[in-house]
Amino acid sequence: MLEPSQLVLIQPGVLGSGVELARMFALAGRKRCLIAETPTSLYTCRLRKPAHVYIGAIKNSVPLAAVPSTDTPQALAILQPYFGERYVSGKDALAVGPFNCNPIYHVPPAVLNFKTVEDSDRRPQHTLVTPRIAEVIDALDRERLSLAHALGAEATSFWDFLARAYGVTEGTLVERIVQGYGRQFFPEPDSVNHRYFTEDIPFGLVIWSSLAAQIGLSMPLTDSFIALSNTLCGRDFVAEGRTAKSLGLLGSHVSSIRAAFIDGSVC
């Protein structure tokens, strides 16, 4: 049972993680606990075997925001003794939520190299990014940024994320991805049940698309990857995923969406 004095840190969160938890408290008629989220994990890591975790990198800084945003300083103060200054203020959950770049980097290479997924080749994910696929990553990222801009959020690009998290600032798009992720050699998905499909699409691309639809913003590439993935994986990721309806924001305008993310005004 979560108590009001406890901190729940959703790491990484995706757009709406804190809002959805706050709404669960409201629907249950309970006072919420302290809720905070980040767009990415502080650690780039993988479970290699039971009780053995490989840490490929520790990020230089990760933005954090609470729901409501006025609780952010309190959350940072709780974490500071354990993690120093690596968590930094992300302003609010609407600014932090669109920062999650996992779907940007994970989905295009996986979908556009689907034969290697079916064959369970487990090639390093970064080796699947060709110059043209890097352009698709960039185009998908620009749709994410357009949503953030339309909602009045100050999101930064995937390429800025690489600079902030890994210190990667130079080279072609492919070279930057190799510099950022090449040291880790994390493998591509080996089945349609991999989290690059089952997490990044229903809780990444789907909520972007759903909120965009509420405000009349077109995201054709995002919608295309959702549709392709539904067929490739034999699932309905929209029905399974986070949507404006699950956040209590169906039919909402920009002001209502902003209030839910920044002030924690949920229903």
Domains and CATH numbers, the chain: 7-262 (1.10.1040.10)
Q: What residue type is assigned to position 172 of the chain?
A: T
List the chain pLDDT tens, one digit each, 267 residues. 888 889 999 998 888 999 999 999 999 999 999 999 998 888 888 788 898 888 888 888 889 999 999 999 999 999 999 999 999 998 899 888 766 888 999 999 999 999 999 999 999 999 999 999 999 999 999 999 999 999 998 788 999 989 987 889 999 999 999 999 988 788 999 999 999 999 999 999 999 999 999 999 999 999 999 999 999 999 999 999 999 999 999 999 999 999 999 998 876
Can you tell me the distance from the alpha carbon of 148 to that of 118, in angstroms, rounded to the nearest whole number?
Answer: 34
Phi-psi region of 200 (alpha: psi -120 to 50; beta: other; left: phi over 0): alpha
Q: Name the pTM for this structure.
A: 0.88
**Res 12: pLDDT:** 85
Angle at 202 (CA atoms; ends 201, 207), nearest 5 degrees: 100
**Res 265: pLDDT:** 86
Can you tell me the distance from the alpha carbon of 44 to that of 56, in angstroms, rounded to the nearest whole number?
Answer: 5
Q: What distance lies between CA 214 and its chain's CA centroid?
A: 20
Pairing mode of beta strands 7-10, 87-89 = unpaired
**Res 99: pLDDT:** 66
**Res 25: pLDDT:** 93
**Res 55: pLDDT:** 87
**Furthest-apart CA atoms within the chain: distance in Å:** 52
Backbone dihedral angles phi then psi of residue 10, each to the nearest 5 degrees? -90, 110
Pairing mode of beta strands 34-37, 7-10 = parallel
Q: Determine contact, residues 226/238, Cβ cutoff 8 Å.
A: yes
* Backbone CA torsion sign across 243, 44, 194, 197: positive
Angle at 246 (CA atoms; ends 42, 15), nearest 5 degrees: 25
